[in-house]
Structure 1
């Protein structure tokens, strides 16, 4: 048996942060992953997705500018785009391993399972540690329906050698909406089935309505309050059946993508042997991200049932907190004050802070400023018809929440996040001098 100060299970952004920081402080550290090193974001999520979305952005921009001076047709060569993405992804695991090697971290490759409260097995290796971190991330949910094993998942989609002519997505969250918009811009006919009344339920409802309209205007079929009940293989394609209050809907499609959500990846870890309490949202942790039932164990990122959103920057934030608590003892609590999140559809939807529904549920007095900005200069200059905002502030003028859909919303939302963190008031934001013409210059008019 080999003994360590720290074992980190998972090599994504949370695990990478913790292992590297602790090793540099002199802790004898080991890390393991059942997949290539790098985690979901770098290999199977945010980064490769945004490379593909970048191509779709060009198509979208050119299409909208056709009426105002751009001529000719452009299209996505899927094979060339995927080759570029694959080249980027292929380099990542070796780069990550070099970082671990430089930091003096011992690397293992394999799934970890607990033998006791302080011992894990990784294939033929039995390791003991004073502290163990679970940072295994999340995996796609398994569809519990006849034919539920037939759809591909988000990882498979990001590795498609060819893009089918017709694609059906099951789900209405980030993954479904982002990939649907990408596929539509690449030339596929897209159908989306979602069981909820609206997609992206956790986002500001009024802003999501703009996205729904933009989605349908692109020719995508969006079926809400529709439960997919069966998926059947038919010749070269699939038959998808969905039930709703309006009856049964049957779609013939070339490909089905399971984008119905993600759950913490804790399968096969024998957590019970280590007295680790967990639920549907992950490892149950205290305010220091320490297991509530096994003080040797910490969790971070999507594997932890924390108050943080399931986002890469939040995983990094929690990684820094966990590393500090392991090194110096429990003293650091993650600050979730501002957690901007973005849905990389086209147009892009971005949010930070409270929705209006959450403001209503709170005891705070608040005010709302919202509206369409489609007739503002920044929309007109690129012929963008979808551009809207909603900003919520308290009675003193501090920003409680900001919600934007439109061009470069992913960048504008960061300015609102900074305003929340810095406790700037509406008057401060209005009175700033912004560069012009820029998207940021619209912020003063949004508050």
Structure 2
């Protein structure tokens, strides 16, 4: 048997790569992880965590306004965006230290630099050449920019997270979760936001009632939605930009941000040279166990472009270690994965959309409620929540749980357990609600929506 420097070399120290490396080390393997940027990866350093910290900061603007309806008086309240960004960066620095400490304590060697494969067992990092019996690719993804005249004037979410000054007017291009989250952040802090998207509404792939509700609430908050519209060019003029649209209009902006998708980080890794097959988007092709076309090379997370969520990458990493190093063949289960959009208001969802359920099961029953949360009554806020259950008519099993409104991600996380256990609508009905809460609405929905109708 060939002698290797390591049992496992992981390319990428994001959430999936760190989890796989630590677990493999705990299983008694000699492990190295190679990272060219900051340990923690996209989610911790350039995505979920810093973005949610900014969402928290922006949400306080609404909370302070709402407090007036509850007897509070505000004097001297002020907001400093730069202070928020500095505080956010300090937290990221702390988290990176935590990740490095966890890797060190697990016995994992951290190698700084970009690794690329020389062959199926050899990784070069700068002038160093390392070998391993098993290689895991966990390099994630990165924002993609389209070929539009003037695109060099645009920023992505990476740069938007580190702005030291708020713009007065921003044009955000895209209708996915990154676009709507940043639209909510900027809008709540008083920035004039225009959201330009090709589709007819937000969040393609989500349940139709989620999409319609969020679009309605964001519009109510003052976000200018330009649907079925594309950007033709971005022109620099004075201290700002002119964004030329397909409908002939030109929007003025201090900042133009693109959130039109991400691509797998496979460029320059030498994967093809090692025999690893990529698809047309550059994603690593894997089987149900996360193994690539080369038997000793595996891949997890966004680099495979399967379900691009941090908890999924972590779960894939754990399944990989059990399969590769613990003798427990463990395919990843992609059914009923909950997800959230930290828009304002936020979205929580798990299971099938109404359209997916109808296509898969045929007849379904839909229970839907729209209501003004108790807090919003005294606050004088018109924002309404939406809750929806999709139920298989033949078996009474709940197939989808969908919500737009305050605390939606926290509420739906709990109901994700119920869906994983195959809960029925009758079991939802038999559950006693906690009163007064928004969450109790999910266990008190009694009236089915009319066929082919909307509540």
Q: TM-score, normalised by structure 2?
A: 0.92
Q: Do 2:27 and 2:326's aligned partners in 1 also have CA atoms closer than 8 Å? A: no
1:201 paired residue number: 204
Alignment of 1:1-400 (within 5 A): 3-67=5-69, 69-72=71-74, 74-243=77-246, 247-279=247-279, 280=281, 282-291=283-292, 293-306=293-306, 309-329=307-327, 331-374=329-372, 377=374, 380=377, 383=381, 385-395=383-393, 396-400=395-399
Provide the C-alpha distance between the structure 2 equivalents of 1:398 and 1:379, rounded to a whole number of angstroms: 33
Provide the C-alpha distance between the structure 2 equivalents of 1:386 and 1:272, rounded to a whole number of angstroms: 51
Q: Which runs of 5+ in 2 are unaligned?
A: 447-455
Provide the C-alpha distance between the structure 2 equivalents of 1:297 and 1:355, rounded to a whole number of angstroms: 35
Report how far residue 23 of structure 1 moved: 0.8
Provide the C-alpha distance between the structure 1 equivalents of 2:62 and 2:90, rounded to a whole number of angstroms: 25
Q: Which runs of 5+ in 1 are unaligned?
A: none
Report how far residue 436 of structure 1 moved: 2.2
Provide the C-alpha distance between the structure 2 equivalents of 1:433 and 1:360, rounded to a whole number of angstroms: 29
Report how far residue 364 of structure 1 moved: 4.3
Provide the C-alpha distance between the structure 1 equivalents of 2:83 and 2:375, rounded to a whole number of angstroms: 32
Shift >6 Å, 4+ stretches: none
Alpha-carbon RMSD across the aligned residues, in angstroms, is 1.8
Alignment of 1:405-444 (within 5 A): 405-444=404-443
Provide the C-alpha distance between the structure 1 equivalents of 2:248 and 2:205, rounded to a whole number of angstroms: 27
Q: TM-score, normalised by structure 1?
A: 0.94
Q: Do 2:276 and 2:284's aligned partners in 1 also have CA atoms closer than 8 Å? A: yes
Q: Do 2:433 and 2:444's aligned partners in 1 also have CA atoms closer than 8 Å? A: no
2:451 paired residue number: none
Q: What is the aligned residue count?
A: 440
Report how far residue 235 of structure 1 moved: 2.1
Q: Do 1:389 and 1:446's aligned partners in 2 also have CA atoms closer than 8 Å? A: no
- Report which stretch shifted further, 423-432 or 127-136: 423-432
Report how far residue 443 of structure 1 moved: 1.9
Q: Do 2:266 and 2:282's aligned partners in 1 also have CA atoms closer than 8 Å? A: no
